[in-house]
A = this chain, B = another copy of it.
Amino acid sequence: METMEQILFKAQTLIEALPYIQKFNSKKVVVKYGGSAMLDTDLQKNVIKDVVLLKLVGMQPIIVHGGGKEITKWLGLLGHESKFIEGLRVTDEQTMEIAEMVLGKVNKNLVQMVEGLGMKAVGISGKDGSTLKVKRKTIHGQDIGFVGNIKEVNVDLINTLIDNDFIPVIAPIGLDNDYQSYNINADDAACAVATAIGAEKLVFLTDMEGVYANPEDETSLLSVLTLEKADMLIESGYVGGGMLPKLKNCVDAVRNGVNRVHILDGRIPHCLLLEFFTDRGIGTAIIDKNRAFEHESIQ
């Protein structure tokens, strides 16, 4: 039995949430899902449940996933060694074939979880409908095999699925102009997709609380980061590790029209709901100062 205090707190939570629910109605949101957040079964269930609830109240979520650790595991089972240069997997023909098989498995597994919650999902790779067109990537002039930079996103298939109430689940594989398969970095894929479909939000579910003004200082977590401030952080050299390319991606996405990019701590249960439907939000939001303020006015 709830106390009157709890009842009033519920009413306040609803009054706080309802305008956001209205505001985000039929807005597109890309959720990049990967890393260790994919390995914990309970967290995985929470994330998929949140995505289903977003869909339930009228948003249009799109999932872009990775799967590096699974790929490494299966390559090992088949007797192949995994090699990386600057964080990118060196991808020969056999590696590509196996990587595509493994990402396909991860992809359909996520579909299966969404379907199990009564919502419709469709698992695609960037090859379907030539959704992701790429160009071979090199690192300092060095070839690393079938690793691609995205050159073009054909949004027809994604929009068709969204318009018909399917949640697209996208594996980061693409085709070059000769219709050869390529591996793509999942963060890059999420960013390109969000930009191309005009997403309201792009969310990275990570293993960190967000972006720190000073990584050494736990109290320096930034809840809002303007483009100017983000540029400064990038140049400062303070930001490092996996966060640097991610932050660059965030800045690009906002510059290209995504309204807000969020770096959330995927370890907090239901972090997506808390970020979207409460005033305070959690994690770090990267915004364009001018645009963001005018959009927030109805709150």
Contacts and interface: CB of A to CB of B under 8 A. Distances in A.
Nearest to A115: B130
A240 interface: no
Contact of A56 (B18, B113, B164, B277): B18
Contacts of A58: 22, 25, 58
Contact of A157 (B6, B18, B122): B122
Contacts of A19: 53, 56
A88 interface: no
Interface string A95-123: 00100111011011001110110001111
Given A78-B77, A160-B166, A166-B129, A97 B108 contact: no
A125 B108 contact: yes
10 contacts: A11-B269, A18-B56, A104-B105, A120-B130, A120-B156, A120-B157, A122-B122, A122-B124, A123-B125, A160-B160
A104 B97 CA distance: 11
A8 B179 contact: no
A15 B273 contact: yes
A181 B108 CA distance: 10
Interface in A113-153: 113, 115-116, 120-125, 127-130
Copies of this chain in the oligomer: 6
Given A6-B9, A101-B105, A121 B129 contact: yes
A10 interface: yes
Interface string A39-63: 0000000000100010011100000
Nearest to A165: B156
Contacts of A97: 105
A17 to B, nearest CB: 6
Contact of A127 (B49, B108, B181): B108
Contacts of A164: 156-157, 160
A216 interface: no
Contacts of A166: 128-129, 157, 160
A97 B105 CA distance: 8
Contact of A101 (B21, B101, B130): B101
A14 interface: yes
